[in-house]
Homo-oligomer: A and B are copies of this chain.
Amino acid sequence: MPQRTGILLVVSGPSGSGKTTLCRRLADEGEANYSISCTTRAPRPGEVNGLDYHFLSRDEFITKRDGGEFLESAEVHGNLYGTLKSEVTDRLEQGADVVMDLDVQGAAQVRACTDTVIRIAAVDLFVMPPEKEELLTRLSGRGTDSSEVIALRMKNALEEMSHWPNYTYRLLSGSQEEDYSRFKSLVVAERMRISRLPDA
């Protein structure tokens, strides 16, 4: 029997939601692949082209972007970042599940993608801290940041959080183990979805 198409699991959530920990653990346990992003920023010491990032010149990046080759892209602090469609669809077509940790703008770009493989594969999750008080605690970090920095983080987190109704699933963050168990359940359930099976 031919393999099902992989799941493209897009995970968003504010800083402090724990989404990156969830995505990394899923990849570390071999349950899903992280896609490798492209960037125009210079490699840092030890970073390997094609492993950590695909390092592109600004011209190369813009040519690919204008050619519609990116699934999502954004400019951050003057550098371009993005994920090539081919990077993701190749894995999905081989039946591998892919996890992407994206902000709300990136997730919206994936949602808007009309590519058939992406549309069949994609599902999105918003990870949300349960209470504002708890989020503030998490964003305060090790207590070394100024109140202005913390207030800005909180403002950004609240703005990000306002986008949750655009998603399919929402995980209210509790303990790390509970969160991961429910995150994993979502992957297990999505693997049973018939629309990604052959001959359905």
Chain B residues with CB under 8 Å of A181's CB are 188
The complex places the Cα of A197 from the Cα of B172 at a distance, in Å, of 12
Is the C-beta of A71 less than 8 angstroms from some C-beta in chain B? no
Q: Which residue of B lies closest to A188 (CB)?
A: B185
- Report the count of interface residues on A (CB-CB < 8 A): 24
Known: A165-B199, A199-B165, A200-B165. A188 touches B182 (CB 8 A): yes
Is the C-beta of A125 less than 8 angstroms from some C-beta in chain B? yes
Is the C-beta of A186 less than 8 angstroms from some C-beta in chain B? yes
The complex places the Cα of A164 from the Cα of B200 at a distance, in Å, of 8
Q: Which of B186, B188, B193 contacts A192 (CB 8 A)?
A: B186
**Pair B182/A194 contact, Cβ less than 8 Å:** no
Q: State the Cβ distance, A154 to closest chain B Cβ, in Å.
A: 21
The complex places the Cα of A165 from the Cα of B185 at a distance, in Å, of 22
Is the C-beta of A51 less than 8 angstroms from some C-beta in chain B? no
Known: A165-B200, A197-B170. A182 touches B192 (CB 8 A): yes
Q: Which residues of A contact B (CB under 8 A)?
A: 125-126, 164-165, 167-171, 181-182, 184-186, 188-190, 192-195, 197, 199-200
